[in-house]
Amino acid sequence: MKKSIFTIVVLLALAAAVLLLLFPMQSPAADPTGASYVATTGSETIADVATTANKAYFGANYTWVMICAFMVFFFQCGFAMVETGFTRGKNAAHTMTMNFMVFLVGAIGYFLVGFALQMGGSGGAAGLGMGGAALDSMLKIPGLGGVMGYKGFMLNGTYDAGIYALFFFQMVFMDTTVTIPTGAMAERVKYSAVVITSFFISMVLYPFFANWVWGGGWLATLGANFGLGHGVVDFAGSGVVHSMGGMIALSGAIVLGPRIGKFKKDGTARAFPGHDIPMAIVGTIILFFCWFSFNVGSTLNSTDFRLSVVATNTMIAGAIGGLVAMFYMWVKFGKPDPSMTANGTLAGLVAITAPCAFVDGVSSFLIGLIAGILVCVSVSFVENKLKLDDPVGAISVHGVNGFWGMIALGLFADGKYGDGFNGVAGAVRGLFYGDATQLYAQLIALAVLLIWGFGVSFIFFKILDKVWGLRIAPEAELEGLDIPEMGVLAYPDNQLVRSELDYDSADNVEIKQLRRFNYLPFHKQPVPAKASIDAAVPVELISKPAKAVGSDVKITKIEIITKQSRFEALKEAMNGIGVTGMTVTQVLGCGMQKGKTEFYRGVETEVNLLPKVQVEIVVTKVPVRTVIETAKSVLYTGHFGDGKIFVYDVENVIKVRTGEEGYDALQDDDNP
């Protein structure tokens, strides 16, 4: 092996020597530093040098902005992994696909309308070499300022490389906003409703507010027009991107309502753990990495040396946010909750996004520290006090900490950066550095976010819910959204669809919730007369000679296989007749219900094995026929898939703890 490697190296060296002999290197100008590219040599004029220098300057800026934009695009991967990991496996394909789809829809919506509304009157970006005439059409209200641009729809009439770069960079920021609400609405929202919502956000809701802050609109000019600091300042999007997304998430969660079974009868919340915490952690790491481009890229200028401060501040705030959240949960609950550690990290990153260019390291530390505590408190408040169901914590991470980031800028901006920002002379200063008016401007932005971000989106969701329908059908929600909405399971080979099988039988708030949705009031509904129950639900009696041990009382096992969505109704009915002990197993199976035909990549495919639940009950005192008839009345719909009931004689039962056998082994408080 060593001889072979040596031989290859020698041959490569000989080949290189031959090439040098045949094609000798041309002797370049003696300029190892590259200074000759901008030096005046020969007949070059000052104008020639200036042109060369400008090309180099703008070329560096273009490269910088585009590379950062590419990295921000990778946010989609991070968000998809975080949200999917924090939700249940039965909805994994639906959640992951939503996060991909919103980018597709958002990009096109922003291309068609959104970019023009946001940036059509901005004049472009100086660092990208665009003149003021490139994007110069703004609808203004006299005495207030601009409210919307109207140049650049479909990028028409703006065929300029700088504008294309600005569009791409702003588009990926917008798509972050479109993505955030999917986490708060996950596991019960219609896929089609998210498509419609994504168009609305990318074409209307986001562009208007982004115009007011980043497009030269009225919030940006509060300083120039009314003396409020530098107007609303949001360097990279705590308010424009994250708070806006958080407000939409809040309104969506309110209109949708909680997932079935999320809250108990007494109002306390149940935990629905994510099915893949490692996936969520990896997604968080991806988001942390891409956040550097998110914040640093917002300089739009590769020669702005403040970018090192921005990057370091971003790192400090994200790290301390995650660390504080970890210790907070560790102290309070005895374990360093990985999901809240991830949320704390993201909260710190969200909070520093607005002030990252205007504060020092100490302030970044404090901002991230407060964010880490704030997200833990907020998640608990949203769930336990407001009774809102937010599977991933989007409201707290992005909404609450986006607000905190905007306020933090109004407090901690140290007057070292931002001279001329929003057309106001001097650097940006916050309350702690002598300018209370900057904080006032930031608070006005938050008020607008509440009215525009939350208020308008709430009205939109209400209308969409009435006209189209926002929430998936209850049966689909219970069984998982993957098959009903996507036509494919995320994990068809190794994971069964989870159902809520472990809830306290005495707390039947899920049943009431389902009845509120007008979803089959279960066994209290009269059996339809159009079909025979016996024909629809065959009962198979499989008998063995009974061998009673320790007693002559007959022991019978009843095995029920049915749809997972019927379990809560079945459990309630069994409890009603005195059956409290049961064994529940998630299974896959098929019978007369042959499966479903779906399509994957346009090819027809058949889902042969469907998610079922198998319930095993052993009775002595409760009559077998009572159990059978009760189960039949609960499970019957008259359609394939209602299930089967199997009845067995049990030879013996042994209680391991006491050694009791037969009838005696079943006599305790938990078994009939």
Residue 387 in contact with residue 401, Cβ under 8 Å?
no
Which pLDDT tens digit goes with each residue over 404-416? Answer: 999 999 999 999 9
- Report the alpha-carbon distance of residue 504 to residue 219 in Å, rounded: 52
The pLDDT value given to residue 256 = 97
Which pLDDT tens digit goes with each residue over 175-188? Answer: 999 999 999 999 99
User: How many other CB atoms are found less than 10 A from the CB of residue 167?
Assistant: 23
DSSP 455: I
The answer for residues whose C-beta is within 8 angstroms of residue 624's C-beta and 6 or more apart is 556, 558, 647
- Residue count of the chain: 672
For the cut 50, the answer to whether the pLDDT of residue 51 exceeds it is yes
Question: Tokens 């409760």 — which residue?
Answer: 622
Cα distances (angstroms) measured from residue 61 to each of 64, 67, 68, 128, 410: 5, 10, 11, 6, 29
Query: Which has the closest alpha carbon to 261: 269, 273, 249?
Result: 269
The pLDDT value given to residue 167 = 95
For the cut 80, the answer to whether the pLDDT of residue 124 exceeds it is yes
Cα distances (angstroms) measured from residue 660 to each of 319, 492, 555, 631, 655: 58, 42, 14, 30, 5
Of the pLDDT bands very low, low, confident and very high (cuts 50, 70, 90), residue 567 is confident
- Provide the percentage of residues in the chain whose pLDDT is more than 70: 79
The pLDDT value given to residue 597 = 65
Average pLDDT over residues 587-604: 62
- Report the alpha-carbon distance of residue 27 to residue 86 in Å, rounded: 60
Q: What angle do CA 59, 61, 64 make, to 5 degrees?
A: 110
Residue 208 Cα to chain centre, angstroms: 23
The pLDDT value given to residue 605 = 57
Least confident of 11-15, 52-56, 370-374: 11-15
Query: Which has the closest alpha carbon to 239: 65, 401, 419?
Result: 401
DSSP 391: T
- Report the alpha-carbon distance of residue 348 to residue 353 in Å, rounded: 9
Cα distances (angstroms) measured from residue 218 to each of 139, 147, 214, 215, 430: 11, 6, 10, 9, 20
- Report the alpha-carbon distance of residue 650 to residue 657 in Å, rounded: 20
Strands 556-563 and 644-649: antiparallel
Residue 391 Cα to chain centre, angstroms: 9
- Report the alpha-carbon distance of residue 29 to residue 346 in Å, rounded: 51
The one-letter amino acid at 4: S
Query: Which has the closest alpha carbon to 404: 375, 365, 362?
Result: 375
- Report the alpha-carbon distance of residue 339 to residue 325 in Å, rounded: 10
Residue 243 in contact with residue 355, Cβ under 8 Å?
no
User: How many other CB atoms are found less than 10 A from the CB of residue 652?
Assistant: 13
Cα distances (angstroms) measured from residue 408 to each of 31, 285, 431, 441, 450: 48, 24, 10, 12, 18
Own/partner long-range contacts of 225-228 (Cβ < 8 Å, ≥24 apart): 225/143, 225/144, 225/145, 227/437, 228/437, 228/438, 228/440, 228/441, 228/444
- Looking at per-residue confidence, does 353 or 513 come out higher? 353
Strand partners, 27: none
Q: What angle do CA 103, 105, 106 make, to 5 degrees?
A: 60
For the cut 90, the answer to whether the pLDDT of residue 368 exceeds it is yes
- Looking at per-residue confidence, does 462 or 508 come out higher? 462
Average pLDDT over residues 550-579: 85
The answer for residues whose C-beta is within 8 angstroms of residue 380's C-beta and 6 or more apart is none
pTM: 0.81
Cα distances (angstroms) measured from residue 600 to each of 102, 491, 591: 20, 14, 23
Which pLDDT tens digit goes with each residue over 418-471? Answer: 999 999 999 999 999 999 999 999 999 999 999 999 999 999 999 999 999 999
The pLDDT value given to residue 230 = 98
Cα distances (angstroms) measured from residue 458 to each of 196, 397, 545: 14, 19, 65
Query: Which has the closest alpha carbon to 348: 377, 321, 328?
Result: 321
- Report the alpha-carbon distance of residue 518 to residue 550 in Å, rounded: 49
Of the pLDDT bands very low, low, confident and very high (cuts 50, 70, 90), residue 28 is very low
- Report the alpha-carbon distance of residue 281 to residue 302 in Å, rounded: 31
For the cut 50, the answer to whether the pLDDT of residue 633 exceeds it is yes
Strand partners, 584: 615
Of the pLDDT bands very low, low, confident and very high (cuts 50, 70, 90), residue 540 is low
Least confident of 53-57, 233-237, 344-348, 648-652: 53-57
Average pLDDT value over all residues in the chain: 85
Q: Which of 143-147, 159-163, 489-493, 562-566 is predicted most confidently?
A: 143-147
For the cut 60, the answer to whether the pLDDT of residue 538 exceeds it is no
User: How many other CB atoms are found less than 10 A from the CB of residue 634?
Assistant: 23
SS3 letters across 45-75? CHHHHHHHHHHHHHHHHHHHHHHHHHHHHCH
Average pLDDT over residues 140-156: 93
The pLDDT value given to residue 110 = 98
Residue 312 has which token pair?
């370091």
Map residue 280 onto helix, strand or coil.
helix
Q: What angle do CA 223, 224, 230 make, to 5 degrees?
A: 35
Cα distances (angstroms) measured from residue 307 to each of 120, 302, 468, 508: 27, 8, 46, 56
Q: What angle do CA 467, 470, 471 make, to 5 degrees?
A: 135
Alpha carbon dihedral 587, 590, 594, 599, in 10-degree steps, equals 30
The pLDDT value given to residue 641 = 80
Query: Which has the closest alpha carbon to 203: 213, 214, 211?
Result: 211
